[in-house]
A and B are shown apart, each in its own frame.
Chain A
Amino acid sequence: DQQVKQNSPSLSVQEGRISILNCDYTNSMFDYFLWYKKYPAEGPTFLISISSIKDKNEDGRFTVFLNKSAKHLSLHIVPSQPGDSAVYFCAASDNYGQNFVFGPGTRLSVLP
């Protein structure tokens, strides 16, 4: 059973608009979350993280929101750029040292 879910396999957004990628988790012990970006034939690169003591973390065009009660987080990209087109993975872990668990990813296409 998937502990980390990304229910949208793909998303298309116009350049300059906001991209919102969603992630849901089932394990209530998860308290640390990361977003990774992956281009084809490359390894994932770290984007942004959030700890459960926060509900928002911002880094430039990227903002992650965490709703612990709903076990839901989202990544907002504003403004979206064509170079943002990639697969985005959500990952989760807990403070007890459990290895990171990844979702299946969402393919984002930013159209010029």
Chain B
Amino acid sequence: EADIYQTPRYLVIGTGKKITLECSQTMGHDKMYWYQQDPGMELHLIHYSYGVNSTEKGDLSSESTVSRIRTEHFPLTLESARPSHTSQYLCASSVEAGGSGELFFGEGSRLTVL
């Protein structure tokens, strides 16, 4: 069973608030990812990290930012939330970026911005 945890699971906030979605994994994986998913749509990669102090933007433009100060921790921050940020955010980690690797997902954080 994968050991990757996301908090909060659900969050409802008002427009303009700053929020941080937490993601931690205990598998020692170097590679971590944030995906955004709307109902009926594919998972879109918004940020990824191949190791400490390494972060990159993904395929989908996002107003969020990430940091990777420790291997096990990959938080995502929205400085000023808007209704368009309402979505499910999924954190994942892997040993490999692609190839024969496998992504392990957290349970997701469902964000609603009013």
- A interface residue numbers (CB < 8 A to B): 2, 4, 9, 32, 34, 36, 41-46, 49, 51, 89, 91, 93-105
- Interface SS of chain B: loop
The reply to whether the CB of B97 lies closer than 8 angstroms to some CB of chain A is yes
Interface residues of B (CB under 8 A from A): 6, 9, 33, 35, 40-43, 45, 48, 58-59, 90-92, 96-108, 110
Inter-chain contact total with CB atoms closer than 8 Å? 74
Q: B101 contacts which chain A residues (CB < 8 A)? A: 93
A43-B107, A46-B103 known; A32 vs B98 contact (CB < 8 Å): yes
- Of B41, B59, B99, B107, the residue contacting A32 (CB under 8 A) is B99
CB-defined A-B contacts under 8 Å, sample of 7: A32-B98, A43-B107, A46-B104, A93-B97, A97-B98, A102-B35, A104-B41
- Bound-state CA distance A43–B40 (Å) is 14
Given contacts A4-B42, A36-B105, A43-B92, 10 further A-B contacts (CB under 8 A): A9-B40, A32-B99, A41-B9, A42-B107, A43-B91, A43-B107, A94-B98, A95-B98, A104-B40, A105-B40
